Structure 1
């Protein structure tokens, strides 16, 4: 069996694969080589380097393992037509992303940017407002693995958590869970709105200017899912008109965020360059999912962890 990595993992992780799977022929490249792609039966990728032409070249491929949660940049139709199985690393981001979300939230509530600015300017200034996270209500759009971990952390601060998902089925660490059609009803109740939704046909531009108008003026909006949840111009308008208190963004419609974007100039937005999921343990956790799946695959089993519906996008 030939397994082709379209990226080059760190040496210790490669060594663990070679040691644990001596019967597998592993190939590691920093970019795709067409000749190697044509020989591969399994591809391990971050997903952004595959297109329809490369899927045609990969005639032998039956399984693509994506070392990322998002698959929206992959050639879904071409993959589906071939019947190629796709699985990903959904869930490994929950620890670093939840910590990032909590860090940003506490930073705003406890005025850390103000404190850091004063330190740089050697200024003793106590004239700022400080708020508590305790006793607030958080509306979490997409209470899956990441959202539930965020909920667990928030509940430790005695935050009331409300989750919104497609099914309305109860989610871990949510005080309430509802279907997405309750969005407009629940937005006015939230002190914090956190989106961890993927990019799908259903979630694209789900939030509009009118939704921000429904939020409290003291609300903090946090987007850590995908940038096409809301049109940039709608978000900018809501921020300029102070419909909400602050926005924390880790994802954007266009990435990298253009230098001429108005978002850079607003004082009520925090811009994070899509790094909330990064961690020194990222690939280590990815391999903890890939290796058991590879063992299953070699036994002829196809019920892999995080097996995805490529056309649905999750």
Structure 2
């Protein structure tokens, strides 16, 4: 029974983390048709900025509860700044180009940002465990579990609902949906497509940065942490269907529980589990579970 409880809790936590990391990637592709390889570097920047900000915070002797407010502010500011700098400084000059070219450009950005992280923060590891330990643990089904991990699950749910509300209920979201359907007609109707792209990319970057920020207290923040993340994020969005927000959520759940079951039942296959799920899904549905039907232009 304890093992079942552990699988359920770990799968839920890992799925929540994967959703936070992957949803920005699928949002950017769905609106802008950009496979953003640099997404992993945004995650790493979030982790490093969080570690630095919390280091200053705790050195100043401020109340521990305020650390979570600092993490939220850091995620928002860093995500918006990095997203707008990359979109306005590089990507806006390449809109309308071949998707393969965009992949190469974002891969180059990933390499540049990875080196920039090393230049700014060096190659030493950063540890900021205090937020992870602050709330302690709670016993669930006889198993002690960190409250911080449960907070990540709650955060993923809140962020997912907020993103859905923005897309479905806000004026900007409805304009974004129109741009996804047909950007040329949307522009002809007076929608500022450039502004939609900039906003979308900034929001997608904020999600990646949030993933890094909430992960920083759980790990040693070291160079190269963005490499594995971008691979996992792509696996999740491919399972769910590129460009689908519900698909990112379902893909994260599939991947999260596949990993949890592998860790507890067959540890030797942990790294293989997520990609096995992806292979099975693609064998049945080559475009993912929730891939949008697209019209063919003649």
More helix by share: 2
What TM-score comes out, normalization by structure 2 length? 0.23
The structure with higher relative contact order (CA 8 Å, sep 6+) is 2
If each structure's strand is expressed as a fraction of its own residues, which one has the higher value?
Answer: 1
TM-score normalised to structure 1 length: 0.23
